[in-house]
Structure 1
């Protein structure tokens, strides 16, 4: 037994020695977190202090006093004994790797500055701001993507961003799919952080997910949840509903000392039937800070003189009520510091509820002194004029459905006041594919806005605040079927006026500027009409602010408008191709495009640019659209359809019956295309849009108002195009467009929702152009000719008509020189005729000025040389162009009015080098 003990002791000593040797210089090194060992070789009981590390004792001994002399043996500089980087360990103490921390997002609660994100510069420099970790086995796949600009979509009504910054986790199997999204959206850190993580106490965090289950072979059911909530790391994370969020530090640091209700006309343009107030009341809930006992007070309980509090301004008495029509406003001021108020102190209030009886076309908004905006906070009491002048940050509460004006919708409206704390969107989708030839997609979602009443005492004690929620719904159903030669499509939808995918975000101090969407809104669904890599609107840290927006005008996907193809960020061009010399032959004006315009705002739907989220349907709309058709032959189809849509918050409607006949056929000698569409439309819903981007350096895009040109109208649109090639190298293109509006009834005369219109208006456009290319004595000669006629009468009664003709002749001559050089010369002569203005009448009766006619001559010479240099394909060009313009004018001469030409000229010379890839 004694021998066994000695054997065990010897084994223990050997193990300890081996462990020490494993950590010694020159031996195997381990980075497991085991703590330092005991080195028996370094157990010398001496008083003199020694500085040799015990890992090096056995190698170098105890010689720190040794004299250093580098005469024979040169000094060897300090070098890293291991590879670069640092060791890292997981949550359980397991050694992971030696390297660099690339990305880290940590949330610690309850502590100050508990939300921290770290992004090493290598995240951008090495990984181009995206890392992907993935794995798979059999049918199971998953990936974790961390990036600054991830194109992410859950569903079109819940979450869709071209540049999501955060973490995306995806899972896929044969019958199951799932996605989780996480981001600190208030400060996601685009780029990199300093050497240490950036910690903040107030943040807005995003958590979203979607799960899809395949049922059978044809049906997939999905569930969606998106939550963006304000939070503070000082609060305990598990003491409350995580989806509700909480007020950030400065949101709830002070009590509400004053509130104002603003009642207005939801359709002010008609000037009547606005908000009608029959009665108003308020319910105050207070809490004793010491006992926690709660008590409720009605208006009658907290006022000594009902005539003095609350202060009501604006409106006009009408049949025992107070009405606000047109631009008028009724403002009810609740100042809790007023001497006429005898209720609980503002610091004791934990909830405030409003109780109103309203009728007609009302709109309800609310303001408090905790709603910080871009301007200084106003002082109660407020009037309608104060609101116009000072523009306080108002919260929209609700609006009446329709545009009732006879008090028939009188109802009680009750709602609670609070500051926004969270946005929660949840819903489901059903997608079916080829069920007896039918494809179907359906989606239903609820957008819930949480708000909380600020109470500093409860927030300081980390106790839950009074929380309230308001819901808005959205749903859509699309179905299609093809049973040759027939086809069918139907869509039904409803989007509540309050449906929103925007969420307020807090800054580092816990403040929100409620009236500044650029810095204070996170968009779950972006406005990205041109579907490029950047959102159209600007939102802080969301990769937006795209001003180069031209939906449908970039068919070659080079991020440049097809109507200004030679425009770029380096060499900006502000002249569209259809007006630029030599370019104008190939490019035709956008007025000659043909397409569907079901919202009847005078612009083809697929080319529209607006300021709205990219939902499939606009908010405040409910309706359906159905069409069915038949292929009469492989080249011809006939479509008949019906559209019925209404605005939920107003009396606007869009009803249309339409028929569409198309013919598209290729022949050996060319191609023929014909489109005919006839519509009967009643549309008084305005669909404003933004002007298309004329060039890449534009600063802002003008807002184009919808003048409602189809309030009660027959609309006929005809488009014909013939591409003809009777001979090799001879191309002829002919386009004809005719569109006419016949106004019916008397709606076109009304100025209530838009300007008065002409009873009839039309657009007639005709383009004829031809070019021929042939060789002549080693030269390539290409003559071109183009005729463009446009006759357009205005929709508005006071607007000007257009009738003009442009004729253009071009001759291009080129000749190759040596092996990679080319010399080209060209001449273009164009005539412009304004056919509206009568020059003879102007010459007789005046006034003096331009007639609108002009001639333009352009001469150009260009030398091009292409070749390879240092791995690049260099193209060097030099040349010049000369332009001469003759503008016809009527001037006052020596013998009265006379016609003359004002001549102007300018020239351009250039030497340019382009470098491209081989």
Structure 2
């Protein structure tokens, strides 16, 4: 026993001897004393006088091993008295970093670096050290504060980021977010190389490979508190194609640049596609009266002299395919019919400027009725090499009598950027109202490709607007709410992604970056599949997870390891705790037969649907603390067609807990609807890995009275006994004429009646 302790004591004594306790000599790795302070400035090699002797023997100048271990190249090593000391990594505390002027900045590890050099080949790089994932779990946060000013920089692969409802909202943003907040002001800057947010061509932590063609993202948001009640804000979002071979900012960063592939050859063929913007009605589609093409070319690249010719001047007309000649002298495309105008610059009949000198092509079409215009070219293809038209213009409304005849003028170009600028105003308890208003302007830029032009290509843009206004006031027992909105049909919050070669596949849906995701169940995974992010989500069930366990409430015994495709309401015992979805009660203001908060679709999560404009207003009173009566009216219409939705409604709610008895709930929703706007949806499935099944809106409320009554009584007045009772009754009464109902195959009256009674008694087992 004593021998063991004595051995331990001897070992500790030897470890604590003065020779071992001496501080290690770090040489100059901890800086050099200059003028009373430590300096880390780099110093070049100086003159070593001992090495000036004219000998043939090679000089090995003592450096690290000599300074730290007194080790000489040819000296005999004996470690009997002075034991061997292992090598220590000189970079164990990181590397030295210096600024542009050679001043020491810090010592540490480079975890993340994103930089861009232009003009330069392979000028865009993103570096993520292996510690970025292993140490920091793909999230870096640096923050500081002084007084009321707070700062934070967040770098991550999946950052939950929202700026405003109309401009930017993503559950997993891969990039950089820099934030500032003070008492009155807040600001955010977002940056990312969205076409390749991670390293290219190498493993994480290795030296990154630079690329010349990228799709970059820049966003900003600023808010200011004005007084005690008002907040003003502005938002800027821009995503654009970039080419590091071009002179910096030569073509205007906001409008983007043509990638190497986009600008690799001249345009020799352009196709214009005319369609019916509302093909379902089968009439009043695109009406073409005349066309003309205007070609601008460079006559002398040295002087920049240009020439402009029209198709009429050189007798150049397109090849016309499709359409029907109508009385009145126009060509029509109704329903599924299309008109295709093909302009072939390589045709022998073409006598205009050489395609390699063309820098701008403008089209003038005299159109009428409900037209939709798309364009494609030999430089705008899918990966299969097929022409893929992109939308250029469309008519307002659904005019069918040619009264909207107009000259539609537009330029051809390849998409290079998407930009949104908006501002918003919010008030809190201002004159008793809480309000939020936002207006956003969307510009989608395109440029005409020509490999003989360096950077400064002719550009064009398509504009779409969106706005919303909400206002609410609560003055118990009264309350009012109103909302108005307009969402342009062409309002776009996405951009094509370029690959490393600059190739863009215009037909592949997942090669997009979305500013606003489709995430109806508001989880961490977007519902659709897009490049460089998680998804598509195979578990989408909006509103069906009220216990927040990430499992469908209608199928609690389903999981990834052991799948169960039988809903709980179809299984013995489990059905006691799960009622069929048909017994749920909720608001259905779009009249598609499904409660609004449970809907799943394939659109971005805007607060309102695109191509919709309208308003909704309601008011009400609390008759008692448990009883509320509401009445309102909503009206909305499609901007691009004549379809309308008008609904007047009343809502009665009663919800009260009575001691020694239980909970009583009474809901009734009465509405009169005239709705011919189709609101299709995706059916939620009560199990994992199910197909996304579309459900078409059958327009069951074209002119209809609808009354829904829901009664619930949970009895808990007896110990250990729970009795649950639910009743739902829904009644539809159609106001259409008998002939119309017969044509639609609809009944005058239809009903739903459901009743649930169940009891549970708990026994204590000793």
Specify the alignment match of 1:443 in structure 2: 438
Write the deviation string for residues 568-618 of structure 1: whole angstroms up to 9, x where unpaired: 222222221111221111110000000001111111000000000000001
Q: Is the 8 A contact 2:323 2:332 kept in 1?
A: yes
Q: Is the 8 A contact 1:357 1:410 kept in 2?
A: yes
1:542-553 correspondence to structure 2 within 5 Å: 542-553=533-544
Question: 1:341 deviation in Å?
Answer: 1.2
Alpha-carbon distance in structure 2 between the residues aligned to 1:24 and 1:673: 79
Alpha-carbon distance in structure 2 between the residues aligned to 1:26 and 1:123: 26
SS of residue paired to 1:578: helix
Among residues 231, 234, 255, which one is paired with 2:245 in the alignment? 234
Aligned length: 732
Answering whether residue 309 of structure 2 is matched by residue 317 of structure 1, we say no
Q: Is the 8 A contact 2:666 2:711 kept in 1?
A: yes
1:623-772 correspondence to structure 2 within 5 Å: 623-668=614-659, 669-698=661-690, 700-746=691-737, 749=740, 756-772=745-761
Specify the alignment match of 1:257 in structure 2: 268
Among residues 412, 427, 430, which one is paired with 2:425 in the alignment? 430
Q: Is the 8 A contact 1:42 1:54 kept in 2?
A: no
1:838-877 correspondence to structure 2 within 5 Å: none
- CA 1:366–1:488 in 2, change beyond 3 Å: closer, same or farther? same
Specify the alignment match of 1:296 in structure 2: 308
SS of residue paired to 1:403: coil
- CA 1:60–1:621 in 2, change beyond 3 Å: closer, same or farther? closer
- CA 1:238–1:424 in 2, change beyond 3 Å: closer, same or farther? same
Q: Is the 8 A contact 2:440 2:466 kept in 1?
A: yes
Alpha-carbon distance in structure 1 between the residues aligned to 2:71 and 2:59: 7
Alpha-carbon distance in structure 1 between the residues aligned to 2:679 and 2:352: 47
Answering whether residue 402 of structure 2 is matched by residue 407 of structure 1, we say yes
Question: 1:97 deviation in Å?
Answer: 3.5
1:754-833 correspondence to structure 2 within 5 Å: 756-775=745-764, 778=766
Q: Is the 8 A contact 1:110 1:237 kept in 2?
A: yes
Write the deviation string for residues 546-588 of structure 1: whole angstroms up to 9, x where unpaired: 1210110111222111111122222222221111221111110
Alpha-carbon distance in structure 2 between the residues aligned to 1:624 and 1:260: 40
Write the deviation string for residues 140-170 of structure 1: whole angstroms up to 9, x where unpaired: 1010000000000110100000000100010
- Runs (4+) off by over 4 Å: 21-31, 54-63, 67-77
Specify the alignment match of 1:580 in structure 2: 571
The TM-score normalised by the length of structure 1 is 0.77
Answering whether residue 583 of structure 2 is matched by residue 592 of structure 1, we say yes
Answering whether residue 509 of structure 2 is matched by residue 514 of structure 1, we say no
Specify the alignment match of 1:528 in structure 2: 519
- CA 1:55–1:371 in 2, change beyond 3 Å: closer, same or farther? closer
Answering whether residue 95 of structure 2 is matched by residue 86 of structure 1, we say yes
Answering whether residue 477 of structure 2 is matched by residue 485 of structure 1, we say yes
- CA 1:79–1:774 in 2, change beyond 3 Å: closer, same or farther? closer
Gaps spanning 5+ residues in structure 2: where? 1-24
Q: Is the 8 A contact 1:274 1:405 kept in 2?
A: yes
Among residues 362, 365, 385, which one is paired with 1:356 in the alignment? 365
Question: 1:536 deviation in Å?
Answer: 0.7
Answering whether residue 455 of structure 2 is matched by residue 463 of structure 1, we say yes
Write the deviation string for residues 243-290 of structure 1: whole angstroms up to 9, x where unpaired: 111111101111111011111111111111111111111111111234
Question: 1:764 deviation in Å?
Answer: 0.9
Gaps spanning 5+ residues in structure 1: where? 1-20, 378-391, 779-918
Specify the alignment match of 1:110 in structure 2: 119
SS of residue paired to 1:260: strand
1:176-325 correspondence to structure 2 within 5 Å: 176-189=185-198, 193-288=204-299, 289-303=301-315, 309-319=317-327, 320-325=329-334
Q: Is the 8 A contact 2:569 2:576 kept in 1?
A: yes
SS of residue paired to 2:641: coil
Answering whether residue 407 of structure 2 is matched by residue 396 of structure 1, we say no
- CA 1:138–1:688 in 2, change beyond 3 Å: closer, same or farther? same
Question: 1:715 deviation in Å?
Answer: 0.8
- CA 1:71–1:59 in 2, change beyond 3 Å: closer, same or farther? closer
Question: 1:375 deviation in Å?
Answer: 2.5
- CA 1:335–1:58 in 2, change beyond 3 Å: closer, same or farther? closer
- CA 1:222–1:747 in 2, change beyond 3 Å: closer, same or farther? farther
Specify the alignment match of 1:453 in structure 2: 448
Alpha-carbon distance in structure 1 between the residues aligned to 2:657 and 2:104: 68
Alpha-carbon distance in structure 2 between the residues aligned to 1:176 and 1:417: 42
SS of residue paired to 1:124: helix
Specify the alignment match of 1:476 in structure 2: 468
Write the deviation string for residues 502-536 of structure 1: whole angstroms up to 9, x where unpaired: 111211110111111202x1100001100011111
1:27-106 correspondence to structure 2 within 5 Å: 32-36=40-44, 38=46, 42-48=50-56, 49-53=58-62, 64-67=73-76, 77-81=86-90, 83-106=92-115
Answering whether residue 429 of structure 2 is matched by residue 418 of structure 1, we say no
SS of residue paired to 2:132: helix
Specify the alignment match of 2:529 in structure 1: 538
More displaced stretch, 417-426 vs 229-238? 229-238
Alpha-carbon distance in structure 2 between the residues aligned to 1:317 and 1:121: 66
More displaced stretch, 73-82 vs 256-265? 73-82
SS of residue paired to 1:585: helix
Q: Which has the higher contact order (CA 8 A, sep 6+)?
A: 2
Q: Is the 8 A contact 1:275 1:358 kept in 2?
A: yes
Question: 1:242 deviation in Å?
Answer: 1.7
Specify the alignment match of 1:791 in structure 2: none
SS of residue paired to 2:254: coil
SS of residue paired to 1:296: strand
